[in-house]
């Protein structure tokens, strides 16, 4: 599909038919989608992600918070270029990005559904982080909802905070939990973990890191 036709679909069928909101500072964007042709496939802390039925290889990330940071994310994708651990930028508008689609399930949802998370996913993300640092970026805010696995491979799907300064401990802490808790205990049984438990752990961790802001 030509980019001009795709952007018209965004302007005519997507943006007028979605509402993005949030319950609180530690909660992801809540998406209400009234479009018949666009499917909601995800949401993060700042944006919702949508897929049009006519083009399964691209997705649109629409900012609901901090739209002023969109240009910074564009710059991040330009620095990353084409690398197997990340999506790539197709085009962008005032409040949205068009990105190459990465198909899979994020680690948060994998825990809820009891889907095994192989160590290869962790290794792939580590390699992506090393590459991002090699091109002058600072991998920041990498957590269970920002890492997608597909066919045993791991991908970082949100790079919106890679321009920030300082150290973020989220990925390091997630890896510790993976090797000390998930591999020796949870992975043996592949049991689904109730959503409210995983979500409360997520909220509690975010609140803890907010309080300990000087250590992030």
Give the start-to-end residue ranges of the domains of the chain: 3-100, 105-215
Residues with Cβ < 8 Å from 205, sequence gap 6 or more?
170, 173
Question: pTM, whole model, 2 decimals?
Answer: 0.88
Distances (CA, A) of 170 to 48, 125, 140: 21, 13, 8
Per-residue pLDDT tens listing for the chain (216 residues): 799 999 999 999 999 999 999 887 667 789 999 999 999 998 887 899 999 999 999 999 999 877 788 999 999 999 999 999 999 999 999 999 999 999 999 999 999 999 999 999 999 999 999 999 999 999 999 999 999 999 999 999 999 999 999 999 999 999 999 999 999 999 999 899 999 999 999 989 988 888 877 544
CB 189 within 8 A of CB 182: no
Q: Topology of 105-215 in CATH?
A: Transferase(Phosphotransferase); domain 1 (1.10.510)
CATH match of 3-100 with 3.30.2000: no
> How far apart, in Å, are the Cα atoms of 41 and each of 26, 33, 45, 120, 188?
20, 11, 14, 24, 29
């Amino acid at each position: 599909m030509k980019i001009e036709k795709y952007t018209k679909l965004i302007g005519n069928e997507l943006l007028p038919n979605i509402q993005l909101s949030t319950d609180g500072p530690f909660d992801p964007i809540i998406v209400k989608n009234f479009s018949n042709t666009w499917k909601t496939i995800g949401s993060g802390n700042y944006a919702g992600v949508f897929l049009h039925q006519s083009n399964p290889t691209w997705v649109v990330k629409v900012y609901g918070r901090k739209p002023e940071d969109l240009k910074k994310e564009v710059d991040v994708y330009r620095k990353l270029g084409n690398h197997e651990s990340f999506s790539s930028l197709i085009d962008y508008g005032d409040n949205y990005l068009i990105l190459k689609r990465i198909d899979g399930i994020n680690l948060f949802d994998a825990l809820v559904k009891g889907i095994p998370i192989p160590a290869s996913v962790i290794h792939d993300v580590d390699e992506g982080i090393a590459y991002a640092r090699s091109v002058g970026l600072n991998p920041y805010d990498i957590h269970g909802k920002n890492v997608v696995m597909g066919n045993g491979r791991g991908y970082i799907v949100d790079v919106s905070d890679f321009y920030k300064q300082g150290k973020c401990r989220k990925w390091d802490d997630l890896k510790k939990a993976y090797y000390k808790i998930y591999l020796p205990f949870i992975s043996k049984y592949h049991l689904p973990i109730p959503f409210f438990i995983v979500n409360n752990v997520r909220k509690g961790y975010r609140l803890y890191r907010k309080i300990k802001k000087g250590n992030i």
